[in-house]
A = this chain, B = another copy of it.
């Protein structure tokens, strides 16, 4: 079978439902071993309880990309709530001698009690943007590194690609249908990330259940091949799904397929789907044929290995919606964001917070806590990503004093308490809204697909405190 097939939901697709939550296992072992061995060393030498600031950022955007889209924050907050070392996890760590008894005792009582601030999910970002800032003891903050990066790197890679696709599609709905080309759990996260970036629906049922996303799908080529002929397959599908369904017309001959489709459903047929061939000329032929058959309201859905460039190339074609699979769930050439989780400041032996950074070779980082704001011009267009550095307490207390600076970091976790506005289906809606607003604010031209620099420059401002 080929790519699944969307019906064409009205846009904006907001018919989200209250999801039934599946059981949630511990996320604590979704972690690199060295986080635990570092913890053991730091517990032994007394540095484990030093206050630390870890910052998540990416050093560069994928080649040619103008902006990135932060996604995964809501999933991360839910995963942090489940980051507990229960009996099964502790037993395994003990049996494998991953860490010593003191460390096991620490892990048994572990919960994150620090603060996390970050860009709101759905916000656009640029090289150096501090999209997440984790404040806590070394012990509690270092343990979260792997999970934070896994979630933000994958979800943001998908959202960043998806945003280009919805830009290219302009007002036509785009449907996510890439589950078969991604790890089965990644597929669920990918569906969520694409909806944040403006996709209208997904083929993935678990994403529908877990995040309340609209789901769509009607039939594959196998359904036609199962039947004795195309006509009987179409008649069966219309009987089962109603004439508003989408019939897949390219199993044999497209022209005969369209004829059979309208014969089966009448001119009120919802849509036909094309999943192969030269979609530009095919869509024109099919539109003409549908109109001649009186099916002037029947829509055309296309779904064959589309990416943002193929979508853009179909702008002038009589296409009503796009189904996207492989390219979006694999980040359209950039399957990860390259975000890193860096210690940028920590309490010294003297109890004073000090900036820290790796200095050797090519991976030099800017130390110190940073606040972030986006500078807007008189028309409300973004002009600069402003990072504010300086003495730790001064930066922590900093807030923009002028209306041209929109602050970018919001509290996500405070003293270990997760702000649940960002989680669950409501968090997805909030993130989708944030993305729409944030993207609309970008300079004209930032949404073009052609390769170029980051849409706005990033500047570092030092304050005195």
Contacts and interface: CB of A to CB of B under 8 A. Distances in A.
Contacts of A184: 27, 30, 79, 146-147, 150-151, 154, 185
Given A183-B150, A217-B34, A363 B276 contact: yes
Nearest to A147: B184
Interface in A154-172: 154-155
Centre residue among A36, A182, A208 by max chain B CB count within 10 A:
A182
A206 B185 CA distance: 15
A88 B20 contact: yes
A189 B89 CA distance: 18
A50 interface: yes
Interface stretch (A221-229, A403-411, A416-424): A221-229
Contacts of A338: 181, 326
Interface string A181-212: 11111111100000000000001111011000
B361 A276 contact: yes
How many copies the complex holds: the figure is 2
A215 interface: yes
Contacts of A228: 348-349
Interface string A57-89: 000000000000000000000010000000011
Interface string A339-353: 011110010110000
A34 B343 CA distance: 46
A396 interface: no
A197 to B, nearest CB: 16
Residue with the highest number of chain B CB atoms closer than 10 Å, among A54, A208, A277, A360: A360
